[in-house]
Amino acid sequence: MRHHTPRHRWRRTLAPTVLPTAAPWWRRWWQAVQTALHRLAVRAGVLAAPDIPDALWLPTLAHYPFLAALSAPQAEQLRHLSAAFLARKEFYGSHGLVVTDAMAVQIAAQACLLLLHWGRGTEALGWYDDFVGIVLYPGQALARRRAVDAAGVVHHYTEVLVGEAMERGPIMLSWSEVREGAQHTQHGTNVVIHEFAHKLDMRNGRADGCPPLPAGFRGTQGARAAHALWWSAWEPAYADFQERVLVAQRFGGSHPWLDAYGATSPAEFFAVACEAYFVNRPQFEHEFPTLTPLLDAFFWPAP
């Protein structure tokens, strides 16, 4: 991504305030050192991340139906995780977009929803420790792509994006898509959850549709058995979904409820499934009864 404006840190997560560039170089250098040490202390759990004020937190819960539906203990746990997340990440506005605290909190809450049952602070947020930056575009972004076909011919093209997760790199999000996410609950789509689900998938390498599974996953013994169990459900579900999307697109059949973009690869199917699972679980469970228990076991790991 290009033409990023200066980075934004959630104002309540870092102290003290960054000095203006007019200050002597040595004071700005010392300020940068203090800021870095403070971030490291929060990350290590030596210092607690500042609480998110009610004025920012309560409107965030109210804006997204799937967050408003959380129980009081779940919402409080999400609040702690989101504060810790904000202390570890940096937000960048692109093309003149000014990132506010309210915007950062909305993204943090949705990103941390995936980690809600994996412990507090460092334990859970370790899933996201391969990146720091989150880039926000006002609307859709254009990315230049290069692909080589089977004949060895190189093709250059432009792809329109509303979000992208880069392996061991930042996350890009369209702010207009994030803001309108509350209106897409019935359709089971959410760009923040989609991109952060990719980050989970990337924890064991290139995204392939199977994130690292917890020990003893659904009673299995060993990683090989856990992965075999996972794919025994996901592969047929993906193949069936691809078929339904193909029939709808080529022959005018009824379009499936789940976002058709999930038919492009197993990795996208996993991310699209995670979106729907979190924002409209009843409909997802109805559509994919074989996948719901696996996502339950992954996102609600046994102690």
pLDDT, tens digit (0-9, with 9 covering 90-100), for 21-57:
445 554 555 555 555 555 555 555 544 567 899 999 9
What is the predicted pLDDT for the residue at 244? 95
> Coil, strand, or helix at residue 120?
coil
Cβ atoms of 66 and 182 within 8 Å: the answer is: no
183: pLDDT strictly greater than 50: yes
Average per-residue pLDDT in the chain? 83
| In the predicted structure, residue 17 carries a pLDDT above the cut 50 | no
Q: What is the pLDDT of residues 204-242, one digit of tens each?
A: 999 999 999 998 999 999 999 999 999 999 999 999 999
- pTM beyond 0.85: no
The pLDDT assigned to 112 comes to 97
Domain ranges for the chain, please list them: 1-207, 209-303
Percent of all residues in the chain with a pLDDT value above 90, rounded to a whole number: 64
Q: Does residue 278 have a pLDDT over 70?
A: yes
- Kindly provide the b/e burial profile for residues 214-224, where b requires at least 16 CB atoms within 10 angstroms of the residue's own CB: eeebbebeeee
Q: Which run of H or E residues covers position 206? A: none
Helix (H) or strand (E) holding 292: helix 292-299
Residue 249 CA to residue 101 CA, distance in Å, equals: 41
**Residue 10: pLDDT band with limits 50, 70, 90:** very low
Q: Which amino acid is at 155?
A: H
Q: With contact defined as beta carbons under 8 Å apart, do 284 and 273 qualify?
A: yes
For residue 1, name the pLDDT band (cuts at 50, 70, 90). very low
